[in-house]
Structure 1
Amino acid sequence: MRVTAQRAQLRWTGGAVTEAIRQAAARGALLAAEHVLQASRQHVPIAEGTLERSGTASVDARQLTAAVSYDTPYAVRVHEDLNARHAPGRSAKYLESVLPQEAATVQAIIAAQVRRTLR
């Protein structure tokens, strides 16, 4: 029996893989923030719809952080006023109350983007 030498070559692309994962995580964070935005819009108090339309989702890809914000002069006041009366299903804490409910979905959205990149 004759044994022949086998050769293999390995090319390490760890830096490229790390960057691809980072980009996927940023993409997932934006998609997750958009999901939270949509969920919070279901609870935003509505008078004319201006507050609801002012909502936006953003991501800082470098820091891997995402944000959901509402941009009207009264957004914070409406969010924090627990004594105000709103239509059924609409409430103060329209953003803060949604986050714990959507945490598992947010994690799943980000994880799906990372998994897709690693295929």
Structure 2
Amino acid sequence: MPKVVWRADAILRQVEENALNGAEEWARADVLPLSQENCPVDSGTMRGTGSVVREGKTIEIGFGGPSVPYTVRQHEDLTLDHPTGQAKWLENAFNWRLPMLPERVGDRLRKVL
């Protein structure tokens, strides 16, 4: 008699991995380019620090580092004048592109199901 062996753990791991892949793709393809486009530019150093880092189940989109210690102030201080770019460039890009996240994740999940 044929048997069906339910491998829930393997299926759940694959669903989780594909969902994370979709979220990472969204961060790299949708959020990061828009945030870089709207990042204030003087020398271009800060814009060049934009990155997406995935560690385990965490995906981080960010700017900054030792070469640009002023990044947080440039992002958060709404009183600064930005001839090119704008304050809150990363936060705005994240929020503007958030509606695209379910589609990116859904595309990856359909590959499992």
Q: TM-score, normalised by structure 1?
A: 0.82
Q: Deviations over 1:71-113 (max 9, x none)?
A: 231110110121222235x100111112221111122112211
Q: Name the % identity.
A: 27
Q: Distance in 1 between matches of 2:55 and 2:15?
A: 15
| Structure 2: gaps spanning 5 or more residues | none
Cα drift, residue 69 of structure 1: 0.7
- Counterpart residue type for residue 67 of structure 1: E
For 1:49 and 1:117, how far apart are their aligned partners in 2?
41
Residue 14 (structure 2) pairs with residue 12 (structure 1)? no
2:93 counterpart (81, 95, 98): 98
More helix by share: 2
Secondary structure of the equivalent of 2:83? Answer: coil
Q: 1:87 to 1:117 in 2, by over 3 A?
A: farther
Instruction: Indicate conservation of the 8 Å contact 1:33/1:58, yes or no.
Output: no
The aligned amino acid for 1:114 is L
| 1:66 paired residue number | 59
Q: Which amino acid is 2:50 matched to?
A: G
TM-score of the superposed pair, with normalisation by structure 2: 0.86
17, 29, 32: which one pairs with 2:23?
A: 29
**Which segments of 5 or more consecutive residues in structure 1 lack a partner in the other structure?**
1-6
**Match of 1:11, SS?**
coil
Aligned length: 109
Aligned partners of 1:58 and 1:67 also within 8 Å? yes
Q: CA RMSD in A?
A: 1.5
Greater shift, 48-57 or 29-38, is seen at 29-38
Q: Is the 8 A contact 1:29 1:59 kept in 2?
A: no
Q: 1:68 Cα shift?
A: 0.6
